């Protein structure tokens, strides 16, 4: 039965009965195992222990007679003849080692990729057409490409939880907006008065963005960044890791409120710029395409001209998009787009808020690039829930439409995707239906 020698290398400290100058010397030690092979079984080591051989010439540093006596070199380290597998006077094989060159397997047919031929079998009627699949983009890169590569208005419905986000995905919007007001209301049951913190907003944004990580990009509210430059940078880093495509950060004081309430106060111009610099720095350090949107709420307190000054400063620092919150007229909105062009602007449309109603068509004609509807799903949901619960209280029945069965509701939330995961893994959880 032929034998094979397997040599496993390791470096071990030289254990010499004499002092070693300037630290330990390492000798390469060869562990030689003899493995028996047969035609019917795979290789397995024999029971006898491996032979350990110190290979002095392979030391990591050259050993001289001052380090290792020549007598030790000559007597204690046997000569290895690798052509005959001989160590000293001991022959460890019955025949010389033959270098085995593996021949091409005869049972594997040649594949001709130009004609889709495997061996003598043709699997296509003509040449193979190589189909190059476009690389899938994460949300941030997708949103950046939408801004840089088109002049289209990106319409983003405001979503406030998983269900509203699923409905928006089903309807087919190109992007989504996670509203801070809606997050505070739905997650905490509180008004938008700066109560929601980074953990609340980031966790909510991460959940929404990852319902379909390769789908529509998600823009998220970041309020004031929740602190000074270090905290702002940390907030941006967490949003990037969460899969958020873009965010807006504003110049309100930390004790902020919804942009469509009265009594807002803003920080100084320089403090606003400090927030933008911190956000830009975090984005650059991460090498992320996340879209930085600079928002000013100064219109109510300091006027339009101050807003323009702040947005131009943010643009010079490196913000990707501008947002003037609370336009007081359509003419003011149109003026801002022209004054800041070609820098893209975002329009926040809150019906019954501070800004008069502007349609998506009007916004596109004005030249806005992004349009968010912060209360787009929250306000109708409140109206519908209230009406339904009043009916329940008065009539003792909810009155849900016949089309909205439990299964139909769960299908909006990804039931079929979950079933497919189980099926592809070989599961039978849904073999009997659902």
For residue 97, the number of C-alpha atoms closer than 13 Å in the C-beta half-sphere is: 15
Q: Which residue's structure tokens are 């409140």?
A: 382
- Bridge-based pairing of strands 90-91 and 26-36 is unpaired
177 given a catalytic annotation: yes
Q: Which residues contact 143 (CB under 8 A, 6 or more apart)?
A: 154, 175, 217, 219, 245, 246, 289, 291
39 given a catalytic annotation: no
Q: Which of 161, 258, 289, 320 is catalytic?
A: 258
Q: Which of 166, 202, 248, 260 is catalytic?
A: 248
Q: Which of 206, 223, 289, 297 is catalytic?
A: 223
**pLDDT recorded at residue 99:** 46
Q: Which residues contact 138 (CB under 8 A, 6 or more apart)?
A: 213, 214, 243, 245, 289
Q: Which of 295, 299, 307, 320 is catalytic?
A: 295
pLDDT value at 403 more than 60: yes
Through-space distance between the first and last CA atoms of the chain, rounded to whole angstroms: 60
- Tens of pLDDT, residue by residue over 208-262, are 999 999 999 999 999 999 999 999 999 999 999 999 999 999 999 999 999 999 9
Tokens describing residue 142: 């997708």
**pLDDT recorded at residue 78:** 54
- 384: phi then psi, degrees, rounded to nearest 5: -65, -40
DSSP code at position 58: G
What is the share, in percent, of the chain residues with pLDDT greater than 90? 68
- Tens of pLDDT, residue by residue over 255-290, are 999 999 999 999 999 999 999 999 999 999 999 999
251-279: burial string, b at 16+ Cβ within 10 Å, e else:
bbeeebbbbbbeebebbebeebbbbbbbb
297 given a catalytic annotation: no
- Tens of pLDDT, residue by residue over 81-113, are 555 555 555 555 444 445 454 555 455 445 454
In this structure, the dihedral spanned by the alpha carbons of residues 234, 236, 238 and 244, taken in order and rounded to 10 degrees, is 180
Q: Which of 221, 251, 289, 320 is catalytic?
A: 221
Q: Which of 160, 161, 177, 239 is catalytic?
A: 177
Q: Which of 192, 206, 289, 297 is catalytic?
A: 192
Mean pLDDT of the chain: 81
234 given a catalytic annotation: no
250 given a catalytic annotation: yes
**What residues pair up with 33 in beta bridges, in sequence order?**
6
Q: Which of 161, 250, 251, 320 is catalytic?
A: 250
**Residue 240 and residue 288 in contact, taking contact as beta carbons nearer than 8 Å:** yes
15-24, 352-361, 397-406 — which is least confidently predicted?
A: 15-24
- Tens of pLDDT, residue by residue over 114-161, are 444 445 545 444 444 545 566 788 999 999 999 999 999 999 999 999
221 given a catalytic annotation: yes
What does the DSSP assignment read for 362-406? Answer: HHHHHT-SEEEETTTTHHHHHHHHHHHHHHHHHHS-----TT--H
182-218: burial string, b at 16+ Cβ within 10 Å, e else:
bbbbbbeeeebebebebebbbebbbbbbebbeebbbb
pLDDT value at 191 more than 50: yes
**Residue 330 and residue 362 in contact, taking contact as beta carbons nearer than 8 Å:** yes
61 given a catalytic annotation: no
């Amino acid at each position: 039965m032929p034998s094979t020698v397997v040599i496993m290398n390791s470096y071990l400290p030289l254990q010499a009965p004499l002092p070693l100058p300037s630290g330990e010397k390492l000798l390469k030690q060869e562990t030689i195992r003899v493995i028996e092979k047969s035609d019917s079984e795979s290789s397995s080591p024999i029971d006898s222990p491996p032979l350990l051989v110190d290979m002095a010439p392979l030391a990591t540093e050259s050993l001289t007679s001052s380090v290792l006596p020549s007598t030790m070199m000559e007597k204690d380290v046997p000569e290895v003849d690798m052509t005959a597998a001989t160590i000293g006077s001991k022959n460890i094989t019955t025949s010389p080692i033959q270098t085995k060159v593996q021949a091409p397997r005869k049972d594997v047919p040649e594949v001709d990729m130009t004609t889709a031929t495997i061996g003598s079998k043709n699997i296509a009627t003509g040449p193979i057409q190589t189909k190059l699949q476009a690389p899938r983009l994460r949300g941030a890169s997708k949103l950046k490409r939408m801004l840089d590569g088109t002049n289209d208005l990106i319409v983003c419905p405001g979503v406030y939880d998983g269900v509203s986000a699923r409905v928006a995905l089903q309807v087919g919007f190109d992007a989504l907006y996670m509203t801070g007001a809606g997050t505070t209301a739905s997650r905490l049951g509180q008004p938008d008065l700066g109560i929601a913190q980074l953990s609340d907003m980031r966790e909510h944004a991460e959940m929404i963005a990852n319902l379909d990580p390769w789908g529509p990009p998600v823009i998220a509210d970041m309020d004031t960044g929740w602190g000074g430059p270090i905290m702002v940078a940390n907030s941006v880093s967490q949003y990037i890791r969460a899969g958020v495509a873009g965010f807006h950060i504003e110049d309100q004081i930390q004790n902020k409120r919804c942009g469509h309430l009265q009594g807002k106060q803003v920080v100084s111009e320089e403090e606003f710029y400090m927030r933008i610099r911190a956000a830009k720095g975090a984005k650059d350090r991460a090498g992320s395409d996340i879209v930085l949107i600079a928002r000013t709420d100064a219109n109510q307190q300091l006027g339009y001209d101050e807003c323009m000054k702040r947005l131009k400063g943010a643009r010079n620092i490196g913000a990707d998009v501008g947002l003037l919150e609370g336009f007081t007229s359509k003419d003011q909105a149109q003026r801002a787009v022209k004054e800041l062009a070609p820098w893209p602007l975002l329009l926040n449309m809150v019906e019954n808020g501070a800004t008069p109603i502007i349609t998506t068509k009007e916004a596109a004609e004005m030249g806005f690039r992004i349009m968010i509807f912060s209360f787009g799903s929250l306000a109708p949901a409140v109206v519908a829930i209230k009406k339904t619960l009043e009916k329940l209280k008065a009539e003792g029945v909810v009155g849900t439409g016949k089309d909205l069965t439990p299964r139909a509701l769960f299908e909006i939330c990804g039931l079929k995707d979950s079933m497919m995961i189980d099926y592809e893994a070989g599961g039978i959880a849904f073999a009997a239906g659902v």
